[in-house]
């Protein structure tokens, strides 16, 4: 894993994110209920919580892919839902499943952004793409197609594709899910190193306790569409809130299995 | 009532897609490669089936009209009938139906799968408008390829009719007589009208198929549902538009 990143021209111009009283309703179900968060510029902010609690939906609001039913999301002073914001802030979202362009090779997946925005000539694009690939040790995969990649490689390509954009705000949706422990640790290191070297604000949605406790500046817990608690990893080492404690350290109890208690809950 | 508002919503959405796409028209020259790729996919790969089908449609037309014109001794006008029918009606409609079935369905499947697997969302976050990259080259390609396909369909249909007229014992109109009858009553406007129709059909099919693909919601199952919807909608639109465009052209 190469450890050098070129200094992005956007270093120092990194953005915070403010989520204020965000409520989101799909049809008749309210998925987010009055969510407020403050992500500070340059920090690694983890969002944890059970499946289906609304983490991805929060991230999509930050990326401007969903519009709030009420409340607002701001990136710096810009409204995240306004398409114009994407001209002012370099924002990249690493999708949980990668969302790679299946009809393009790995190289072309990465080259698409600089090509479409005509950032430099083909030689410059090549440098940029190969640099991003080398950061994630993906040089050999450059001419493969997404369908030929393993899950872990897809995630790394997705991160490399985000890096090509020289992001000022980097949103990760479960970057370590479905990966083996070594690859999870590697990705955790990558996320931390990227922030170290480019000061990019990083919002990481994750179930991965190891990741969150190793690199997060702060962690927010989302339960059933509401913020249950926000704090530093140290504060959550032994959480006072029993719900968070149970989420972080579920006890496997075969005498009194919890699936028998699930019947009436939503999950 | 709900159904009606849904339809109006879709018409509005389709028009909005068209406006959003046309906004990016100045980028077409630098999307040359995509445009050429789409011309190849839409036009070139449709050639074999267009050739074969129009040849047989022309042949059947000659057979049927030979049979019915026998009764009032108008066999010498077979060329006129086949020629006009192909140029004004069957050529454009048949090409449009083929395009809906093999190109429109493929476009909807591709865009729907991009939508379902979040590739469209990825484009949006990368600040690359999907209309510019995905819709514009396809619309431009259909505008160029549709008249070409329609002309080829006409020629194949005419020659199919000529062959059948000459070699069917009960008809026995030689191709010289056939083509002079075809030319005698065919005005340039007849051919132009057919090309205008083909152009309208092709444009509407591709626009609608793009719209339905891009508006797919839900999981992989919905890709199939969108393709079905796109083909059915295209076929309905072809036949409904056919009536109105024909009427407008006949009385213009
Ligand atoms: N586009 C959508 N339409 C309807 N419901 C949705 C949509 N997106 C998410 N949901 C619902 O919102 C809830 C939260 O989803 P999500 O944010 O993906 O959960 P997670 O915390 O696992 O990322 C789920 O119940 C999901 O079914
Ligand atoms: Mg999720």
Q: Output the DSSP codes for B191-227.
A: HHHHHHHHHHHHHHHHHHHHHHHHT--SSTHHHHHHH
Determine, for residues B117 and A63 on separate chains, whether the beta-carbon distance falls below 8 Å.
no
Q: Ligand 1 site: residues with CB under 6 angstroms?
A: A 26, 31, 49, 51-57
Checking if the pLDDT of A124 tops 80, the result is yes
The strand ranges marked E within chain A are: 17-26, 29-39, 44-48, 70-75, 78-79, 91-94, 169-173, 201-205, 218-223, 226-231
Checking if the pLDDT of B36 tops 80, the result is yes
What residues form DSSP beta bridges with A45? A203, A218
Checking if the pLDDT of A7 tops 80, the result is no
DSSP H helical segments within chain B, as ranges? 2-22, 32-42, 47-70, 78-85, 91-98, 105-116, 119-125, 130, 136-167, 175-184, 188-214, 221-250
**How far away is chain A from the Cα of B116, in angstroms, using its nearest Cα?**
10
Centre of ligand 1 from the C-alpha of residue A47, in Å: 15
Round to whole Å and give the CA distance between A139 and A50.
35
Average pLDDT, chain B: 94
Q: How confident is the model at residue A264 (pLDDT cuts 50, 70, 90)?
A: low
Round to whole Å and give the CA distance between B170 and A78.
79
Structure tokens, B9: 């919503």
Q: How confident is the model at residue B67 (pLDDT cuts 50, 70, 90)?
A: confident
The structural domain count of chain B equals: 1
Determine, for residues B122 and A113 on separate chains, whether the beta-carbon distance falls below 8 Å.
no
Checking if the pLDDT of B172 tops 70, the result is yes
Pocket mutation for ligand 1, best pick of A28, A48, A53, A54 (most atoms within 8 Å of C-beta)? A54
Round to whole Å and give the CA distance between B52 and B215.
34
Q: How confident is the model at residue B72 (pLDDT cuts 50, 70, 90)?
A: confident
Round to whole Å and give the CA distance between B116 and A98.
12
Determine, for residues B117 and A91 on separate chains, whether the beta-carbon distance falls below 8 Å.
no
DSSP H helical segments within A25-150, as ranges? 55-62, 85-88, 106-116, 122-135
Checking if the pLDDT of A2 tops 70, the result is no
Residue at B4 is within a domain: no
Checking if the pLDDT of A182 tops 70, the result is yes
Write down the pLDDT at residue A1: 37
Write down the pLDDT at residue A9: 46
Write down the pLDDT at residue A249: 83
Write down the pLDDT at residue A263: 55
By mean pLDDT, which of A9-13, A101-105, A260-264, B69-73 is the weakest? A9-13
Angle at B24 between CA B19 and CA B29, to 5 degrees: 140
Q: How confident is the model at residue B35 (pLDDT cuts 50, 70, 90)?
A: very high
The residue contributing the CA closest to ligand 1 atom 18 is A56
| A191-212 average pLDDT score | 93
| Parallel, antiparallel or unpaired: strands A218-223 and A226-231 | antiparallel
- For B202-234, the pLDDT digits (tens) are 999 999 999 999 999 999 999 999 999 999 999
The residue contributing the CA closest to ligand 1 atom 11 is A31
Checking if the pLDDT of A4 tops 50, the result is no
Determine, for residues A95 and B122 on separate chains, whether the beta-carbon distance falls below 8 Å.
yes
Name the pTM for this structure: 0.91
**How far away is chain B from the Cα of A174, in angstroms, using its nearest Cα?**
15
- Kindly provide the ipTM of the predicted complex, given to two decimals: 0.88
End-to-end CA, chain A: 39
Round to whole Å and give the CA distance between B111 and B89.
31
Round to whole Å and give the CA distance between B154 and B92.
8
Query: What 8-state DSSP symbol labels residue A146?
Result: G
Count the neighbouring beta carbons within 10 Å of the beta carbon of residue B52: 12
Q: How confident is the model at residue B82 (pLDDT cuts 50, 70, 90)?
A: very high
Task: Say which residues have a Cβ less than 8 Å from residue A81's Cβ, sequence separation at least 6.
Answer: A61, A64, A67, A68, A72, A73
Round to whole Å and give the CA distance between A48 and B69.
80
| A25-50 average pLDDT score | 95
User: Which carries the bigger pLDDT value, residue A264 or residue A64?
Assistant: A64
Residue at B102 is within a domain: yes
The percentage of residues in chain B with a pLDDT greater than 90, rounded to a whole number, is: 89
The residue of B37, B127, B132, B217 whose CB has the most chain A CBs within 10 angstroms, and thus the best one to mutate to test that interface, is: B127
Using an 8 Å Cβ cutoff, are A228 and A236 in contact? Answer: no
Which chain A residues contact residue B125 at CB under 8 A?
63-65, 86, 91-93
Which residue segment(s) compose the domain that B122 sits in? 31-250
- For A38-94, the pLDDT digits (tens) are 999 999 999 999 999 999 999 999 999 999 999 999 999 999 999 999 989 999 999
Determine, for residues B126 and A113 on separate chains, whether the beta-carbon distance falls below 8 Å.
yes
Residue at B8 is within a domain: no
Task: Say which residues have a Cβ less than 8 Å from residue B159's Cβ, sequence separation at least 6.
Answer: B55, B58
**How far away is chain B from the Cα of A43, in angstroms, using its nearest Cα?**
21
Write down the pLDDT at residue A247: 87
The percentage of residues in chain A with a pLDDT greater than 70, rounded to a whole number, is: 93
Determine, for residues B126 and A101 on separate chains, whether the beta-carbon distance falls below 8 Å.
no
Angle at A248 between CA A232 and CA A234, to 5 degrees: 20
Count the neighbouring beta carbons within 10 Å of the beta carbon of residue B45: 12
For chain A, list the domains and their CATH numbers: 1-90+167-241 (3.40.50.300), 102-165 (no CATH)
| A247-260 average pLDDT score | 79
Residue at B210 is within a domain: yes
Using an 8 Å Cβ cutoff, are B199 and B146 in contact? Answer: yes
Checking if the pLDDT of B65 tops 60, the result is yes
Q: How confident is the model at residue B103 (pLDDT cuts 50, 70, 90)?
A: very high
Query: For the sheet containing A78-79, what is the strand order?
Result: A29-39, A17-26, A70-75, A78-79
The residue of A83, A88, A93, A168 whose CB has the most chain B CBs within 10 angstroms, and thus the best one to mutate to test that interface, is: A93
What residues form DSSP beta bridges with A35? A22
- Residue B27's closest chain A neighbor by CA? A116
Checking if the pLDDT of A248 tops 90, the result is no
Residue at B1 is within a domain: no
Checking if the pLDDT of A204 tops 80, the result is yes
Write down the pLDDT at residue A135: 87
- For B113-123, the pLDDT digits (tens) are 999 999 999 99
> Looking at the complex, does the CB of residue A89 fall below 8 Å from at least one CB of chain B?
no
Residue at B120 is within a domain: yes
Write down the pLDDT at residue A237: 86
């Amino acid at each position: 894993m190469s450890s050098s990143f070129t200094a992005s021209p956007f270093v120092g111009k990194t953005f915070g994110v403010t989520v204020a009283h965000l409520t989101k309703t799909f049809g008749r179900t309210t998925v987010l209920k009055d969510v407020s968060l403050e992500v500070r510029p340059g920090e690694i902010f983890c969002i944890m919580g059970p499946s289906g609690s609304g983490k991805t939906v929060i991230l999509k609001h930050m990326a401007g892919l969903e519009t709030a039913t009420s409340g607002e999301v701001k990136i710096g002073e810009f409204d995240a839902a306004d398409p114009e914001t994407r001209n002012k802030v370099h924002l990249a979202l690493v999708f949980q499943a990668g969302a790679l362009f299946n009809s393009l090779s790995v190289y072309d997946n990465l080259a698409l952004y600089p090509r479409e925005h005509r950032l430099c000539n083909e030689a410059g694009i090549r440098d940029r793409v190969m640099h991003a690939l080398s950061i994630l040790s993906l040089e050999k995969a450059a001419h493969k197609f997404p369908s030929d990649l393993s899950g872990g490689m897809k995630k790394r390509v997705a991160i490399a594709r985000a890096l090509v954009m020289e992001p000022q705000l980097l949103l990760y949706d479960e970057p370590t899910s479905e990966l083996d422990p070594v690859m999870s640790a590697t990705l955790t290191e990558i996320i931390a190193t990227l922030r170290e070297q480019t000061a990019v604000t990083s919002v990481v949605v994750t179930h991965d306790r190891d990741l969150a406790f190793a690199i997060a500046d702060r962690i927010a817990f989302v339960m059933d569409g509401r913020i249950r608690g926000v704090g530093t990893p140290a504060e959550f080492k032994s959480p006072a809130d029993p719900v968070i404690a149970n989420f972080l350290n579920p006890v496997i109890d075969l005498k009194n299995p919890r699936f028998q208690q699930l019947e009436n809950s939503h999950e | 009532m709900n159904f009606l508002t849904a339809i109006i919503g879709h018409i509005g959405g389709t028009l909005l897609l068209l406006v959003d796409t046309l906004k990016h028209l100045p980028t077409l020259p630098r999307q040359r490669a995509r445009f050429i790729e789409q011309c190849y996919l839409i036009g070139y790969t449709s050639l074999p089936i267009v050739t074969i089908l129009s040849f047989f449609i022309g042949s059947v037309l000659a057979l049927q009209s030979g049979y019915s014109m026998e009764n009032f001794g108008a066999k010498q006008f077979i060329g006129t009938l086949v020629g006009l029918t192909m140029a004004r009606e069957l050529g454009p409609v048949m090409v449009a139906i083929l395009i809906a079935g093999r190109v429109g369905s493929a476009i909807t499947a591709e865009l729907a799968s991009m939508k379902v697997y979040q590739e469209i969302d990825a484009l949006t976050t990368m600040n690359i408008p999907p209309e510019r990259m995905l819709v514009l080259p396809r619309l431009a390609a259909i505008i160029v390829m549709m008249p070409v396909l329609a002309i080829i369909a006409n020629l194949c249909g005419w020659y199919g009719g000529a062959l059948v007229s000459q070699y069917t014992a009960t008809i026995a109109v030689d191709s010289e007589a056939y083509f002079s009858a075809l030319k005698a009553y065919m005005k340039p406007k007849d051919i132009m009208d057919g090309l205008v129709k083909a152009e309208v059909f092709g444009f509407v099919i591709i626009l609608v198929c793009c719209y339905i693909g891009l508006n797919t919601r839900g999981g992989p199952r919905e890709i199939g549902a969108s393709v079905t919807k796109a083909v059915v909608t295209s076929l309905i639109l072809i036949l409904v538009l056919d009536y109105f465009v024909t009427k407008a052209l006949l009385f213009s």
